[in-house]
Amino acid sequence: DAMRSLLKLAVILYCVQSGDGHWLRSLIDASGSRPPPDPVAPVRLRRRRSAEASPCGLRSVLLQVRDLGLGYDSDETVLFKYCGGTCPHASSNHDLALSNLLLSGALPRPAPGELWHSAPCCRPTRHEDIAFLDNSHRWHKVEKLSAAGCSCLD
């Protein structure tokens, strides 16, 4: 459950940084009030000009440990590093064929919650541990919590 919360936080941070509205909306609309967005046709959120040209790289945010959603009772502030930014995309023959098969109806649509993507993604290539003191004055070390390097991955 703690890892699921961390994963949701990482996805939200990625969505906010990269401006990919379809990822963020799929998390927010999980309540079912609206039909989920089409994972093949992403909806873009409005971006700041500086974010559009921002290449894939390491980002950071100061957070209280409890905001990480891992179940630790700590008021301590840590520097959480994550990957964000854009990656160059060159369509491969696979991408073209997949798009044509989806448009023609030859392939079934992805199941709800299943997303297909063929664009490179800015992801961590290395991680680092974070240590902190909880409110009961005990030290904790969470391994591989923060990104230490980023790259565009297919």
Output the pLDDT for position 95.
Answer: 79
| Residue 60: per-residue pLDDT | 97
Considering the four listed CATH numbers 2.10.90.10, 3.30.2270.10, 1.10.260.40, 1.10.10.10, the one that applies to the domain covering 2-153 is: 2.10.90.10
Is the predicted pLDDT of residue 62 greater than 80, yes or no?
Answer: yes
CA distances from 50 to 46, 54, 83, 103, 124 (A): 12, 6, 16, 33, 22
The pLDDT, as a whole number, for residue 89 is: 79
Question: With left for phi above 0 and alpha for psi between -120 and 50, is residue 137 left, alpha or beta?
Answer: left
Segments making up each domain of the chain, as ranges: 2-153
Q: 84-111 pLDDT, tens per residue?
A: 999 987 778 887 888 888 889 898 877 8
Question: pTM score, two decimals?
Answer: 0.57
Token duo for residue 15: 């969505």
